[in-house]
Chains A and B, each alone.
Chain A
């Protein structure tokens, strides 16, 4: 579903979004606030997402549980 390219695609999206927000920010005395807020938010969110993505890209450990029951899981698979 998602692989290493996602980071690059995400980056491209964010750059595009930043450019758009720079040029489409509402004119007037609050233009600077709009631009800075939109672009910074986008980058902050992207960084956060990218870090989470990278952390799970090649996970060193896998989830383990001891409270599983086979029937629960099989049932779920049937559905």
Chain B
């Protein structure tokens, strides 16, 4: 039995082989998809997507999916709401194959129906627009005619005056006799009436003018209301125009130009009686059309509402079904025995669950042939699977964003649950800000369900994803705020101070007063609140926070370095302990462990009450002179300091060659020993799995293995167990050596640079504190210095300003920056000490994951 799956390392994985009867392949995969713990391997990677077994089914489902999307867009267009997926109760029951067929037929029918309804609706709509336009033309053009009728004389005269106006010349020539004739046709003038989009009118005029050389008379007017185009559902402003011109050819030209510019032409009668009839007719037709339109619309809406009631569940079903067939395509199909053969990675502890699920499916189908589950031994690296819950998920994501842990190496995600928010809190330490953050996180956790279902913008969804991280960050910030004794930059006098003010007798206002110790006691919890608002507050907290960050960094790095010991023990590579961990640890501790010791020692000595009292030594100089002139001590910290420092330095120096040479030479020795005993690492190819063809010597072994699964159970025995780790590589001493040299240089330099890097804790916590002090002074501090009505008014106003700035600048902005710094401390400073991170992520076939990635809205 495999050990219990914990977050500490990846769960034990086994490569399993499933022999599934062809008839129930779909049901089996669907049941496994609901379980979501099988990572299926692609056994047909050499065949293209079109050659696979279930391509037909996928195509069909693609079509259904397209139809469902079509319904969705139609519903959007008609703004009919879709019933949310969360309102269904039986989302997880797998549909049977016949149900899928039914669904696909149904959606085909519905598509036809909706499409035909839509088509007729659109035709009707187009007709309606045409009629409306025609009505406008009749109305507006009628106006022109009525006006023009009274002015035929003027037109003629105005034409006469113009010398080269050719338009009415022949009218003039032979029309004199019939001056009484007042109709346009009598003047041999034709006209074209129609409607054109308003933005084209200028071009239209220009083109007409140029082509006809001015031989026209154009009249136009704007339609006051916009006309809705049925094709695009957009509103377009249009103009009615009437163009009068002379001669059939010119009229024909005008028609062509108008049509090419997208104008719609309508016939208008010259006679006002006929026009009135036309308007009447158009009106009655419009009202008929409207009632038909309304009916069609209602039918369509009813149809879509009916679809909308089930659309979400249909989409989910089809999505799942498609995923099932895509997974089935990864299986290999045995023609002779009508079985599907699948290979999948699965947590060893879940094998029982898998087996019982398969048994259930079998029983339900009433099949006598059982589904066989085999565990196969393999030299392939299993994928890394850290099982998370909703609390640990976000923390694990932090680690996985950097890299996937090697299979069964220590998962840094587990300690990150504490160290990440704690280091954040060291930088963000403020009781008040911590409370705000905790409350925000608690609110998000309390309204988790409704928030999960609603759509959020990117920033909020990020915060929501990390709500448990925020909760931890907020809680620790409250704690560090108490330690720093800061609540919105104000002090928290919980315990009696260890200081008291003692005024000299000749005290004048404005003199500086220095506090004296109040007895021998030390302030019991956190910083003494008396430091607030003092002259030398910064001096004290500066030194305190700098040392704090060095100490915290040292703790964190030592802690992380120890995981490399755990890893070496787990992977049974003692050389990593003696060649990497031990010398590395000695190197680190003899320099920085010693610095930490010196800091703590200096704090624990009461320098002013020594006998004789002396000035405390500077630690920075001590460390520098420890390297520059080993053995000589200028300011003594403790007796015997010189020899101790020399020994420590020698130890550190001695560790470097050990770090550098031990591992590569040991590996070479091992390799040569194995060679001498006649072992060969090269020719021994190992089958990775019975169905795996990607080995180079596939012509040699491939066929045999292809047959093997068709044979008896012994087929599994064909798979030899690989003794060496993974795919064997030739031992190359130079490569190992170079690798180790790089590692050594990196490690030694990183000891220095990473310790320095933890000083960001110091910088950020100081910056945060100072910023909140400034914010208080600039807003509420000013308000509190006023009195009377202005004071009240200012307090109210400035309180809001202060609060908004506190939330947005101090909590959101500063919080983000502190979080990024904490992230870096984990990724770089801590994880470089032990994390190998060459694992393969475990990507199980799971409907839950699938629906999460492509949600049905």
Q: Which residues of A contact B (CB under 8 A)?
A: 1-4, 6, 29-33, 36-37, 40-41, 44-45, 47-49, 51-70, 73
Shortest beta-carbon distance, A5 to chain B, in Å?
Answer: 10
Q: Please measure, in the bound complex, the distance between the C-alpha atom of A69 and the C-alpha atom of B551, giving whole angstroms.
A: 39
Shortest beta-carbon distance, A74 to chain B, in Å?
Answer: 9
Identify the interface centre among A2, A52, A73: most chain B CB within 10 Å of its CB.
A52
- Interface contact B8-A32, CB-CB below 8 Å: yes
Q: Given B415, B523, B530, B548, which contacts A36 in the complex, CB threshold below 8 Å?
A: B415
Asked whether B419 is an interface residue with its Cβ less than 8 Å from the other chain, the reply is yes
Q: Given B507, B521, B616, which contacts A70 in the complex, CB threshold below 8 Å?
A: B507
Which B residues touch A68, using CB under 8 A? Answer: 501, 503, 513
A sample of 25 inter-chain contacts (CB < 8 A) reads A1-B498, A1-B524, A3-B522, A30-B389, A32-B7, A32-B414, A33-B6, A36-B414, A36-B415, A41-B418, A47-B552, A49-B525, A51-B547, A52-B527, A54-B603, A55-B547, A56-B522, A56-B523, A57-B603, A59-B540, A61-B536, A64-B512, A65-B533, A70-B503, A70-B509
Q: A1-B496, A2-B521 are in contact. Are A49 and B6 (CB under 8 A)?
A: no
- Interface contact A44-B422, CB-CB below 8 Å: yes
- Interface contact B535-A32, CB-CB below 8 Å: no
Which A residues touch B510, using CB under 8 A? Answer: 66-67
Asked whether B763 is an interface residue with its Cβ less than 8 Å from the other chain, the reply is no
Can you name 9 extra interface pairs (CB under 8 A) apart from A58-B604, A63-B535?
A3-B521, A4-B604, A30-B389, A60-B616, A63-B499, A63-B537, A65-B512, A65-B534, A65-B535
- Interface contact B417-A37, CB-CB below 8 Å: yes
- Interface contact A56-B528, CB-CB below 8 Å: yes
Q: Please measure, in the bound complex, the distance between the C-alpha atom of A53 and the C-alpha atom of B523, giving whole angstroms.
A: 7
Asked whether B515 is an interface residue with its Cβ less than 8 Å from the other chain, the reply is yes
Asked whether B600 is an interface residue with its Cβ less than 8 Å from the other chain, the reply is yes
Q: Please measure, in the bound complex, the distance between the C-alpha atom of A24 and the C-alpha atom of B297, giving whole angstroms.
A: 67
Q: Please measure, in the bound complex, the distance between the C-alpha atom of A53 and the C-alpha atom of B528, giving whole angstroms.
A: 10
Q: Please measure, in the bound complex, the distance between the C-alpha atom of A46 and the C-alpha atom of B483, giving whole angstroms.
A: 11
- B480 (CB) vs chain A CBs: closest residue: A48
B interface size (C-beta, 8 A):
69
B223-278 contacts to A, CB under 8 A, are none
Asked whether B287 is an interface residue with its Cβ less than 8 Å from the other chain, the reply is no
Q: Given A1, A3, A33, A55, which contacts B603 in the complex, CB threshold below 8 Å?
A: A55
Q: A62-B516, A69-B509 are in contact. Are A51 and B5 (CB under 8 A)?
A: no
Which A residues touch B543, using CB under 8 A? Answer: 55
Asked whether B46 is an interface residue with its Cβ less than 8 Å from the other chain, the reply is no
5 closest A-B pairs by beta carbon, nearest first, are A40-B418, A32-B6, A1-B521, A2-B524, A63-B534
- B530 (CB) vs chain A CBs: closest residue: A63
- Interface contact B526-A52, CB-CB below 8 Å: yes
Asked whether B514 is an interface residue with its Cβ less than 8 Å from the other chain, the reply is yes
Q: A45-B479, A61-B536 are in contact. Are A52 and B422 (CB under 8 A)?
A: no
Which A residues touch B389, using CB under 8 A? Answer: 30
Which B residues touch A40, using CB under 8 A? Answer: 415, 417-419
Q: Please measure, in the bound complex, the distance between the C-alpha atom of A53 and the C-alpha atom of B524, giving whole angstroms.
A: 7
Asked whether B725 is an interface residue with its Cβ less than 8 Å from the other chain, the reply is no
Q: Given B5, B418, B501, B604, which contacts A57 in the complex, CB threshold below 8 Å?
A: B604
Identify the interface centre among A45, A61, A62: most chain B CB within 10 Å of its CB.
A62
Which B residues touch A65, using CB under 8 A? Answer: 501, 512-513, 533-535
Shortest beta-carbon distance, A26 to chain B, in Å?
Answer: 13
Q: Please measure, in the bound complex, the distance between the C-alpha atom of A37 and the C-alpha atom of B536, giving whole angstroms.
A: 38
Asked whether B520 is an interface residue with its Cβ less than 8 Å from the other chain, the reply is yes
Which A residues touch B517, using CB under 8 A? Answer: 62
Asked whether B856 is an interface residue with its Cβ less than 8 Å from the other chain, the reply is no
- Interface contact B534-A64, CB-CB below 8 Å: yes
Shortest beta-carbon distance, B2 to chain A, in Å?
Answer: 14
Which A residues touch B531, using CB under 8 A? Answer: 63
